[in-house]
Chain A
Amino acid sequence: MKFFFSSGHGACPGCSLPIAVKNVLYALEGKCFVVNPTGCLEIISSQYDRSAWGVPYIHSVFENAAAVAAGIDAALKALGRKDEGHVVVFAGDGATADIGIGCLSGMFDRNHDVLYICLDNEAYQNTGNQQSGLTPPGSNTTTTPAGKILPGKIGRKKDMVAFALAHKIPYVATASVAYPNDIRRKVKRAVEFEGAKYIQILCPCVTGWGINSNETIKVARLAVETALYPIVEYENGELVRVRKIKERKPVEEYLKIQRRFRHLFKHPKGREIIEELQRIADENAKRFGLDE
């Protein structure tokens, strides 16, 4: 069988990134060009002479994946090679929402025919869990450590779905590695649209989040079942589908099994943060009609 993303790469045991990547590549039947900025996925898969990639792959720098993808799209058009495959970006949350947001906005604005996938593990995990714009409040990262005074990250998780929608691109969705069928369906649906597409996939990080390596999927599911990570799908700006939650779970269930949130249960400001996170979950449930 032809491989698209080979085993033998350097991901940690329990890492969710290969799950997301393999499902996307599977959905596209390997007919794609992959652009990957600097980060976890790049480091585990692209060492010289040991590439895991069975599809054409390029890594340039940290903050320019969207622009590099735009250039591939332009070249394929100019050279009459559009039928060769789709242009896909796999970028981390930091590369997407922080350092690369300028290039991302430019690519969205020009509406290049690119599927941009944000593999959201909620911090700079390749370098050991530094906070990004997609780190949730209260998370204990090495640059927002829980201390005697501060309870981890202050501030909210950046709303990249709203950012994508603001550019009027034709397809925007979220997903979670807990639901691989949903990832594949969304990828297939996304590439039916000509123009820029954005899918943000929640990808738990075993080391950064402090979870057991056999609990990746469990945590990815709990994020959805608590409504902290709403699974939504927009086509041409209209919300067309959400993943409904049968019995919404309190956020504590999600928080207590992760080292990055454990301090919240004993920190003087922890209760406040837990309540804030519950409020965010409640808002999500109400806004998207998640409760069944």
Chain B
Amino acid sequence: MVRKVVRGFYAVAYAVKLCRPAVICAYPITPQTEIVENLATMYANGELGNCQYITAESEFGAASILVGASATGARTFTATCSQGLILMSEVLWNAAGMRLPIVMVIANRSLSAPLSIWNDHQDSMAMRDACIIQVYVENNQEAHDMIPQAYKIAENKDVMLPFMVCMDGYKLTHAYEPVDLLEQETVDSFLPPYDPPIKLTTKDPLTFGCYAPPHCYMEFRVVMQRAMMRAKKVMEEVFKEWAELTGRNWGGLIATDYMDNAETAVVAMGSVVGLVREVVEEMRKDGKKVGLVKIRSFRPFPTEELRKVMKDVENIVVFERAVSFGYEGPVSIDLKSALFGHSNAKVYSFAVGLGGRDIPRDLIRKCINNAIEGKVDEGFHFEGVKEFEEVII
């Protein structure tokens, strides 16, 4: 193992290389571009073995190329975000329905309009219902570690679904952090070559992507839901195996800190977790019974895990990085649904840092304190917003 100070995009690209993908295809989009640029450099230097690296004409094309490649039995990779992810969305729904374990990294970025290249989670949240596994990572080591795990989970015969590793654009992709880079032998011992149970081959001709009239469509959706639910168990097993192999334990579908006897649980996903953890630690030192719940897997949603850990809490504070317009923050929506009938805790939902707005430590502390002290109403709030006058013309 070599510890190096690298940027997030390199940590990801290097891990992808170690997974020996057969086809990589992407279209550049900020702030993802450096991931595929690094892979392109490796390809140009002959470091990717027999891998085919294709620069597509659009993200839509990139996703489509990977559908063809994955169905033919190739391990595939792409990275995208924001407008690119939304452009891919038709194909990604299709890939999930065809049960193709395409692994992609989403360098989370906001959506237009107005145009913004900066970070929030609106892009991946828009893909929430597509039957794609979504794991959000906190730092670049976790991003690096998630790549081999993503392949192992996605390609498990009980799962066979696309996988999105969501890492915050710029905040992680462009951050320099020390990362223990994996060895090829470690990854080879963990991740077997991709050998799908069925594939496109002239030796055994099969029809992929059939159409299903009403008398047979629904069963396809039933098995997709089953695969997602089975993925929970597979993920727990793979996470455990990873911890034993590398000594780095990132937790299960959720990870918790200071949740023993906590009266207030603070929920977050992605890079903001690091900051929230520090604030929780400080508050603990001040004698406040606060704990942290980091949601790692947003799909499948960790319903049982959240019920268990939230059993005795009085307040739940959720930091949202996206909005379900016309309702509230998407994490709170699912959390409340999971806890319905299992908890009487008050849920406070704070949207912070949309479009890359800075998220100061004081803001996090203020939101948690306000909830604990009952200074804000339950429900959904935007925080860190300037005073402004809305003009309706």
Interface residues in chain A, defined as those with a beta carbon under 8 Å from any beta carbon in chain B: 30-33, 35, 42-43, 46-49, 51, 53-61, 63-64, 67-81, 84-85, 102-103, 105-106, 109-110
Q: Say whether B69 contacts A72, CB under 8 Å.
A: yes
Of A49, A55, A56, A80, the most chain B CB neighbours within 10 A belong to A56
- Which A residues are CB-close (under 8 A) to B70? 71, 75
Is A72's CB under 8 angstroms from B64's CB?
no
Residues of B near A67 (CB, < 8 A) are: 56-57, 60-62, 64-65, 67-68
Determine if B54 and A110 form an interchain contact, defined as CB atoms under 8 angstroms apart: yes
On whether the beta carbons of B201 and A84 are closer than 8 Å, the reply is yes
How many angstroms from the CA of A77 to the CA of B50 in the assembled complex? Answer: 8
In the assembled complex, how far is the CB of residue A275 from the closest CB belonging to chain B, in whole angstroms? 39
Q: Is B207 an interface residue (CB 8 A)?
A: yes
Q: Quick one: which of B151-183 are within 8 Å of A by CB?
A: none
A57 & B69 in contact (Cβ 8 Å cutoff): no
Partner of B57 from A54, A60, A102 at Cβ < 8 Å? A102
The answer to whether B203 and A42 touch across the interface, beta carbons within 8 angstroms, is no
26 CB contacts below 8 A, A to B, read A46-B209, A46-B211, A48-B210, A48-B211, A49-B210, A51-B207, A51-B210, A56-B205, A59-B210, A60-B94, A67-B61, A67-B68, A68-B68, A70-B54, A71-B70, A72-B72, A74-B23, A75-B73, A76-B72, A78-B74, A79-B73, A84-B203, A102-B61, A103-B60, A105-B57, A106-B56
Residue contact A71 to B67, C-beta cutoff 8 Å:
yes
Tell me the B residues contacting A by CB distance below 8 Å.
Answer: 22-23, 25, 50-52, 54-58, 60-62, 64-74, 90-91, 94, 98, 200-203, 205-213, 216
Give the docked Cα–Cα distance between A48 and B211 (Å).
6
Q: Which residue of B lies closest to A36 (CB)?
A: B209
**CB distance B209 to A64 under 8 Å?**
no
Pick the contact of A47 from B71, B91, B202, B210 — CB < 8 Å?
B210
* A42 CA / B209 CA spacing, docked (Å): 10
- Complex partner residue of A56 from B201, B210, B213, CB under 8 angstroms: B201
A68–B64 touching, CB < 8 Å: yes
B67 contact set on A, CB distance < 8 A: 58, 60, 64, 67-68, 71
Closest to B200 in A: A56
Contacts of B71 in A (CB 8 A): 58, 68, 71-72
How many angstroms from the CA of A86 to the CA of B16 in the assembled complex?
29
Question: A48 contacts B200, CB within 8 Å?
Answer: no
Residues from chain A with a CB closer than 8 A to the CB of B62 are: 67
Q: Total A-B residue pairs with C-beta atoms closer than 8 Å?
A: 164
Hey, which chain A residues are within 8 Å of B91, CB to CB?
60-61, 64
A57 / chain B contacts, CB cutoff of 8 Å: 200, 205-208
Interface pair B207/A71, CB less than 8 Å apart: no
Contacts of A51 in B (CB 8 A): 207, 210
Given contact pairs A32-B202, A78-B22, A103 touches B64 in the complex (Cβ within 8 A) = yes
- Give min CB distance, A111 to chain B, whole Å: 12
- B210 A75 Cβ-Cβ under 8 A: no
Closest Cβ neighbor of B48 among chain A residues: A78
Partner of B205 from the list A53, A72, A73 (CB cut-off 8 Å) is: A53
Q: Which residues from chain B contact A74 at a C-beta distance below 8 Å?
A: 23, 25, 52, 54, 65, 68-69, 74
In angstroms, Cα B64 to Cα A64, docked, is 6
Complex contact B205–A106 (CB within 8 A) = no
When distances are taken between beta carbons in the complex, the residues of chain B under 8 Å from A33 are 72, 200, 202
Counting from the closest, the 7 A-B pairs by CB-CB distance are: A71-B68, A106-B57, A67-B64, A64-B64, A75-B72, A68-B68, A59-B209
CB contacts (< 8 Å) of A31 on chain B: these are 202
